[in-house]
Chains A and B, each alone.
Chain A
C-alpha cells in the first residue's frame, strides 16, 4: 500500500496545488491556468513566466498554481481558494476569468490580482495583455506569400476581441501581398482540446487550405499539417520549435517573465498599483520565432522588416485606409486604430467572409 500512497500523493501534486504555506515572510504568488502546463503553448509560456519569478527571487517567493481551471463559475472557486491559501498576488491567465477575478477581488481587498487579456480593472485588479496582433501581421504577410491555393485556414477559439483582432490583422497583411487570398475560419469554442484542434485543422486542409493559423493552444494542428505534408503553420503562444523548419515556419512567442518579475517586485516593495499594460513586439512581450528556411529569403527579409517596423513604432498593424466588413469606412488613409477600438474589436475588416458568432 505504501507504493499506492506514494503514487496517489505524486498524482495529487501533479494535478493540484503546488505546496502549502510555510513561512509568513515569503511573498506568495498564485497562478490560475486554463490548460495544463504541458500544453506546449499558452499555459506553458505563463508557467515559464512563473519560473522566471522563482529564478529571480529564490527563497523570497513561493509560487502556487492550479492547472486546467475551467472558465466560468468554477474559476471563482479556484481563485477564492488561492486567496484563502494566503496568496499576496494572483495572476489569472485567461480571458474567461475576468468576471470571477473581479468578484473575488472585491472579497479580498488586500490581495493583488492581475488578469490577463481582459478589460475590467479595479483598485486591486490590474489588467495586462500583449499585442499579439502585431505578431499576426507578420504571420499574415508570410501566409499571403506562401499560400498556393490562396486559401488560408484559421482555427479560432472564442469570439472575443483578442481573437478577432488577430484574424483581422492576419487578413489585412495577407491581403496586402496577395489580393486573391481567402480566409476560412473555424470557431473551435475551446482554448485547448488537441483532438478537436486536429479535426479542425484536417477539415481546413481537406477544403484546400495550405496555410493554417491557430488561436488555440496545443500543437495538434502542427501535427495534422505535418501529416498532410504541404501545409504551412505557425507556432502559437509558444515557439513550437519541434515542428520547425516545416510545417512550422515561424511563431508568436509570449514572454511573460519580465512582467511577472516586475509585478512581484512591486508587491514586495509595496509599490504595487492597479495598472493596464498592453505591450507588443517593441517591449519584448511578443516575440517572433525564427523564420525558418522553408520561407524564401526575400519573404523572410520582408517579414523581418515588418517586424522591426512594428517594434520601433514606425508602422501600426491597423493603418488606414481600412473598411469594416459591411463596407463602411473605419480608418482613413494613414490613420491608425486607437487602443479603445482595438480592445473592444467586434467586427471583421472588409473582405473577410462569414459572420462573427455573437459571444
Chain B
C-alpha cells in the first residue's frame, strides 16, 4: 500500500469530471421538483441526450453543437412527459418510468450507426494566468468548458429560485398549486417550462458522458446515472448549492475508491465499492433526523384547475 501513488491534484480534477453529468441532471431535476413535478425519466432523457449529442457532435465535428442538440433533445423528450402528466393528467411516477424505458430504447435505435465511432475531442480550456497557480490551477482551471457551464447553471438556478420573482412563482406553484392557481398563476405553464429546463439539463449531462467523460457512444452507457441524480436531489433537500455538494461528494468518493483500490489500500474492496452509496444513504438519514426535508408541498400531485 502506498498512498503516495495517488496524486491529489489529479484526483480532485477527475472528481469534477466524474461528477459533472450527475450534477447537470440533478440541478435540472431539482428545478422540476421545486415546481411540484416528479419526473423519474431522468435516465431516459440523459441517454437520449447522450446519443443525440454524440451523433450531432460527430456529424458536425463540433462538440459544442452536440451539447446544444443534446439539450434540445432532452427538452423535447421531457415535453412528451409534460404533455402526458400536465394535460392528460397521467400518473407522474408511471409516466416517468415509462419515459426512462422509452429513452433507453429510442437511444439504442438512434445510436446503432454510431457504435465504435470516436468522438471529436473537446479542447480543454487552459485559462491563462489562473491555470498557472500551483495546486489550484490544475484542479480548477484546466477543464473542458462544460464543467464551467455546469457551475454557472447551478449559480444561475440558485439566483433565479431565491432572488427573483420568477423563482418565487415557481416555488409557489410547487408548494401549493391550488393557492398559486387562485392567485392567477398559470400552474401548468410554469411546470411545463420547469420540465423543459430539467430535460435540457439531463440531456447536457448525458452528452457530457458520451462526448467528454467516456468519450464514445455505447448503448445503455449512462448505466444508472439518472437514478443517482434523483437521489442527489433528495440528498440536497432541493437546494442548488447542496446539489453541487452532493454531486461532487458522490463523484469524489467514486473516483477516490478506484484510486484507493489501484494503490492497494488494505481495505476490503467491497467496502470501497459501496462507499459512495453508503455515504449518500448516511447523509440522507442525517438530513431526515433534522426533520426539515424541504420537499415541495405539491410534489408528485396532479393539478386539476376545477377543484
Taking beta carbons and an 8 Å cutoff, which residues of A are in contact with B?
4, 7-8, 10-16, 35-40, 68, 153, 159, 184-187, 189-190, 192-196, 198-200, 202-204, 206-209, 218-220, 223-224, 226-227, 242, 353-355, 357-358
Question: Is the beta-carbon distance between B273 and A189 smaller than 8 angstroms?
Answer: yes
In the complex, which residue of chain A has the Cβ closest to the Cβ of B215?
Answer: A223
Determine the distance from Cα of A200 to Cα of B255 in the docked complex, in whole angstroms.
8
Q: Which of the residues A195, A209, A358 comes within 8 Å of B214, measured between beta carbons?
A: A195
Question: Is the beta-carbon distance between B270 and A7 smaller than 8 angstroms?
Answer: no
Question: Is the beta-carbon distance between A206 and B216 smaller than 8 angstroms?
Answer: no
Chain B 46-64, CB-CB to A under 8 Å as 1, else 0, gives 0000000000000000000
17 intermolecular pairs with C-beta atoms under 8 Å apart:
A10-B106, A14-B106, A39-B220, A40-B116, A159-B269, A187-B269, A189-B273, A190-B223, A194-B216, A194-B218, A195-B213, A199-B255, A203-B14, A206-B7, A206-B259, A220-B221, A355-B269
In the complex, which residue of chain B has the Cβ closest to the Cβ of A202?
Answer: B14
Chain B residues near A195: list those with CB within 8 A: 18, 21, 209, 213-214, 221-223, 225
Question: Is the beta-carbon distance between B214 and A198 smaller than 8 angstroms?
Answer: yes
In the complex, which residue of chain B has the Cβ closest to the Cβ of A201?
Answer: B258
Chain B 254-271, CB-CB to A under 8 Å as 1, else 0, gives 110011011110101110
Q: How far is the CB of B37 from chain A (nearest CB, A)?
A: 21
Chain A residues near B288: list those with CB within 8 A: none
Question: Is the beta-carbon distance between A200 and B258 smaller than 8 angstroms?
Answer: yes
Q: How far is the CB of B80 from chain A (nearest CB, A)?
A: 8
Query: Interface stretch among B89-97, B107-115, B191-199, B279-287?
Result: B107-115
Interface centre among A14, A185, A358 (most CB of B within 10 A): A14
A-B contact count (CB 8 A): 139
Chain B residues near A37: list those with CB within 8 A: 219
Top 4 A-B pairs ranked by shortest CB distance?
Answer: A11-B105, A36-B219, A38-B219, A15-B105
Known: A358-B268, A358-B270; 15 extra A-B contacts, CB below 8 A, are A11-B102, A12-B105, A14-B106, A14-B108, A14-B109, A36-B108, A36-B218, A195-B221, A196-B254, A206-B11, A207-B262, A208-B5, A209-B262, A223-B118, A242-B116
B6 at the interface (CB under 8 A from A): yes
Chain A residues near B219: list those with CB within 8 A: 35-39
Question: Is the beta-carbon distance between A7 and B106 smaller than 8 angstroms?
Answer: yes
Question: Is the beta-carbon distance between A357 and B268 smaller than 8 angstroms?
Answer: yes
In the complex, which residue of chain A has the Cβ closest to the Cβ of B13?
Answer: A206
Q: Which of the residues A10, A184, A223, A358 comes within 8 Å of B262, measured between beta carbons?
A: A184
Chain A residues near B104: list those with CB within 8 A: 15
Chain A residues near B262: list those with CB within 8 A: 153, 184-186, 200, 203-204, 207, 209
B135 at the interface (CB under 8 A from A): no
Chain A residues near B254: list those with CB within 8 A: 196, 199
Determine the distance from Cα of A220 to Cα of B11 in the docked complex, in whole angstroms.
19
In the complex, which residue of chain A has the Cβ closest to the Cβ of B265?
Answer: A354
Interface centre among A16, A159, A190, A196 (most CB of B within 10 A): A196
B10 at the interface (CB under 8 A from A): yes
Knowing A15-B101, A220-B214, the reply to whether A207 touches B263 (Cβ < 8 A) is yes
Chain B residues near A193: list those with CB within 8 A: 223-224
Determine the distance from Cα of A195 to Cα of B14 in the docked complex, in whole angstroms.
12
Question: Is the beta-carbon distance between B118 and A354 smaller than 8 angstroms?
Answer: no
Chain A residues near B6: list those with CB within 8 A: 206-207
Chain B residues near A358: list those with CB within 8 A: 268, 270
Q: Which of the residues A15, A203, A219, A226 comes within 8 Å of B218, measured between beta carbons?
A: A219
Determine the distance from Cα of A203 to Cα of B260 in the docked complex, in whole angstroms.
9
Q: How far is the CB of B155 from chain A (nearest CB, A)?
A: 25
Chain B residues near A68: list those with CB within 8 A: 220
Question: Is the beta-carbon distance between B106 and A11 smaller than 8 angstroms?
Answer: yes
Q: How far is the CB of A51 from chain B (nearest CB, A)?
A: 15
Question: Is the beta-carbon distance between B223 and A196 smaller than 8 angstroms?
Answer: yes
Question: Is the beta-carbon distance between A10 and B118 smaller than 8 angstroms?
Answer: no
Question: Is the beta-carbon distance between A40 and B115 smaller than 8 angstroms?
Answer: yes
Q: How far is the CB of A163 from chain B (nearest CB, A)?
A: 13
In the complex, which residue of chain A has the Cβ closest to the Cβ of B258?
Answer: A203
Knowing A8-B102, A14-B105, the reply to whether A192 touches B273 (Cβ < 8 A) is no
Determine the distance from Cα of A273 to Cα of B225 in the docked complex, in whole angstroms.
43
Question: Is the beta-carbon distance between A10 and B220 smaller than 8 angstroms?
Answer: no
Question: Is the beta-carbon distance between B116 and A219 smaller than 8 angstroms?
Answer: yes
Determine the distance from Cα of A195 to Cα of B255 in the docked complex, in whole angstroms.
11
Q: How far is the CB of A260 from chain B (nearest CB, A)?
A: 22
Chain A residues near B115: list those with CB within 8 A: 38, 40
Question: Is the beta-carbon distance between B101 and A198 smaller than 8 angstroms?
Answer: no
Chain A residues near B102: list those with CB within 8 A: 8, 11
In the complex, which residue of chain A has the Cβ closest to the Cβ of B6?
Answer: A207
Determine the distance from Cα of A202 to Cα of B223 in the docked complex, in whole angstroms.
18
Q: Which of the residues B118, B255, B263 comes within 8 Å of A242, measured between beta carbons?
A: B118
Chain A residues near B255: list those with CB within 8 A: 199, 203
Determine the distance from Cα of A24 to Cα of B144 in the docked complex, in whole angstroms.
57
Question: Is the beta-carbon distance between A207 and B116 smaller than 8 angstroms?
Answer: no
Chain A residues near B14: list those with CB within 8 A: 199, 202-203, 206
Determine the distance from Cα of A209 to Cα of B263 in the docked complex, in whole angstroms.
11
Chain B residues near A8: list those with CB within 8 A: 102
Q: How far is the CB of B273 from chain A (nearest CB, A)?
A: 5
Chain B residues near A204: list those with CB within 8 A: 262
Chain A residues near B21: list those with CB within 8 A: 195
